[in-house]
Structure 1
Amino acid sequence: MLNELVQKAIKGDGDSFYELIQIKKEHIYKIAYSYVHNQEDALDVVHDAVYKAFTAIGSLKNPQYFSTWLTKITINCAIDHLNKTKKVISIEKSELENFPVEENDKEAILDLRQNLEKLDIKYKTVIILRYFEDLTLNEIAATLNLPINTIKAQLYRGLQRLKIQLEEGDAIEK
């Protein structure tokens, strides 16, 4: 069914494209939010991504890669948004309050999020896609159009840098 909708959208059927976006809206919102960490900016990113996808849907060669293609557009829009705004990204307190965890764990989650923001965008992207979006390494490689070994290396380096940042934070607190 999804492939049929994609094929119709590629041929210019706006209603089919709308249905596809309705199916994928939560997914692209989650990706956008994982980059910008607030609702308004995430909605702006989603809006930009949907617009770019709508204007470029005719160039999609293989309908089975629609989800990967849309994810990549969303990531690029989120990165563009961050580069344009160049502001400090804050995590909304409501995001932490919704976690059913102990207070100490909430602090750990906040530390993790803050340190994730300090990472180079290539490491941050791979970590978000792997651990927040639960994509496999092969899916990440397809989404980012990079070799699997590059993804593995970026994931390893990103996690190492994140670990160092977290350890440095612990050392400062003691």
Structure 2
Amino acid sequence: MTTNEQLVIKAIAGNEAAFIELMKMYKIDLYKTGLSFFKNEEEALEAIQEVTYRAYKSIRKIKEPAYFKTWLMRIMINYCQDQLKKKKREVLNEDYIQAQGVSESHSALEIEDVLQSLDSRSRELLTLKYLHGLKIKEIAYAMDCPEGTIKTWLHKALQEMRSKFSEEGEN
């Protein structure tokens, strides 16, 4: 059992110091996620505050301490998506775009347009896999789906992204 898992177990048991330590460990990941959705430092920081509160309120619901980061990122992604739905806009961070391994021959606007045209599940999968570096197993756990399903969805999302780029190249 890792030190992180031990901290999670303590936090689940009500140890506030352990919870604070965990939040400090993942604040950069949370911030990057907030920025990737909002492209705004203030909104990203507000998201961290809200997610910290939500995580604190529901920490006892964690079933697997090893997946704390996945659980926490899921809360952040859900919060960000809810906020964007309210604002009726979706924007992505340049880091996310570069994490997709897309050729640099496309402008940032072209890449953003293609990503915006993908469905929310595809964008979410690509965020978890490439921005946060989660493994297929962790994504499957977070989304409560079989690993094979996640692999299929991820493959389809990447294929769709590539086909949209090749369509743009033909125009």
TM-score, normalised by the number of residues in structure 1: 0.80
The structure-2 alpha-carbon separation of the partners of 1:42 and 1:58, relative to structure 1 and needing over 3 Å to count, comes to: same
Tell me the equivalent position of 1:45.
47
The aligned amino acid for 1:161 is E
Tell me the equivalent position of 2:169.
170
Tell me the equivalent position of 2:154.
155
Contact 2:12-2:62 within 8 A present in 1 as well: yes
Contact 2:92-2:112 within 8 A present in 1 as well: no
Q: Percent identity?
A: 33
How large is the Cα RMSD of the aligned pairs?
A: 2.4
TM-score, normalised by the number of residues in structure 2: 0.81
Deviation per residue, 1:132-168 (Å, 9 max, x gap): 2222222221222211121112112211221222223
Contact 1:45-1:81 within 8 A present in 2 as well: no
Tell me the equivalent position of 1:123.
122
The aligned amino acid for 2:163 is I
Deviation per residue, 1:28-82 (Å, 9 max, x gap): 2222322333322322322221111010012223322211211211121121121
Separation in 2, partners of 1:90, 1:160: 19
The structure-2 alpha-carbon separation of the partners of 1:22 and 1:106, relative to structure 1 and needing over 3 Å to count, comes to: farther
Separation in 2, partners of 1:90, 1:148: 26
Query: Secondary structure of the residue that 1:105 maps to in structure 2?
Result: coil
Contact 1:8-1:16 within 8 A present in 2 as well: yes
Equivalent residue for 2:66, pick from 47, 64, 67:
64
Alignment of 1:85-96 (within 5 A): 85-87=87-89, 89=91
Flag structure 2 segments of 5+ consecutive residues without an equivalent.
none
Separation in 2, partners of 1:137, 1:129: 9
